[in-house]
Amino acid sequence: MQEIRPKAVIIENVKGLARPQFSEYVDYLKLRMSMPELMPDAQETWSEHRGRLVSERAQAGFALKYKVKFIHLNAANFGVPQKRERVFFIALREDLGVTWSPPEETNSADRLLWDKWVTGEYWDRIQVPKSKRVEPNKTIRPRLRFLLESEELPAMNAWKTVREAISVLPVLEEGESDPHDANHQLNPGARSYPGHTGSILDEPAKTIKAGDHGVPGGENTLQRPDGTVRYFSVRECACLQTFPVDFFVSGPWSQQMRQIGNAVPVLLAEAVGRTVASALSIQGA
């Protein structure tokens, strides 16, 4: 940052950083980004450097300063068919005088509940007959009762589901491949285990994982109505990350999964990026 002096910086990381036990470290990262010219000494720990940043933050001797915000977002609230919670550091150069606000959510869990079990619009839209529609489970019934008692249509659009995301793809059996898409094949051998079960078809997916801790089982699988699981194909995972259907990923299967799992969902990245670009543009930065 101190060398190229960007107008804005966006950094994404896992939601674990939002835990209370990491609050001091997050504070350090924000201070570090806000004063990039004040580098740590060779033998200085991050906590020692943090103390020096705190003591020198109010001084006027630094030509380059950034205003930094730390936000926690759920990708499902921005049209991504995946419950993927991530944190973002947004830094804007102080001399630009730019004011930035987080992106506004466009999708909600309440609206999906409403569309499923109040109006039935969701099931009608995806053409599921009444005989095959699932009933609300015990965990969501209290919230559903609250929505019914309010008698008010929830704002925003409904969360997007796995079924909606992958319905554009050819249906395959395990071991089959799409001859027109090398990223769409169903490898056999999927399994679930305690704490790592498959995603539900008519809900947003669980967080798509990267690398071997998500493959060969657990979160990168789909749970069928009968309780069995199958792998998501790489193409299905890409759809759950809202990549275009013609976006190609190369390499061995585990490496393809790592690339997709490490990515920021496209629609979430766009939502954050547009707010920063808009702030810079509107305020003439």
What whole-number distance in Å separates Cα of residue 280 and Cα of residue 282?
6
Mean pLDDT of the chain: 91
Give the pLDDT of residue 227. 86
- Rounded to whole angstroms, the maximal C-alpha distance in the chain is 71
Residue with tokens 């704490």, as numbered in its chain: 195
**pLDDT at residue 147 is higher than 70:** yes
> What average pLDDT does this structure show over 56-70?
82
Give the pLDDT of residue 190. 87
Is the Cβ–Cβ distance between 163 and 172 less than 8 Å? no
> What average pLDDT does this structure show over 86-93?
97
pLDDT tens digits, residue range 26-55? 999 999 999 998 999 999 999 999 998 988
Which of these ranges, 140-149, 186-195, 197-206, has the smallest mean pLDDT? 186-195
pLDDT band at 214, cuts 50/70/90?
A: very low
pLDDT band at 197, cuts 50/70/90?
A: confident
> What average pLDDT does this structure show over 83-93?
97
**pLDDT at residue 182 is higher than 90:** yes
Give the pLDDT of residue 3. 79
Give the pLDDT of residue 284. 64
Give the pLDDT of residue 218. 57
**pLDDT at residue 215 is higher than 60:** no
> What average pLDDT does this structure show over 268-284?
91
Share of the chain above pLDDT 70, in %: 95
**pLDDT at residue 60 is higher than 70:** no
Is the Cβ–Cβ distance between 75 and 87 less than 8 Å? no
Structure tokens at 95: 């001399």
**pLDDT at residue 137 is higher than 60:** yes
Q: Give the start-to-end residue ranges of the domains of the chain.
A: 8-104+268-282, 107-155
**pLDDT at residue 184 is higher than 80:** yes
Give the pLDDT of residue 225. 84
**Total-model pTM:** 0.92
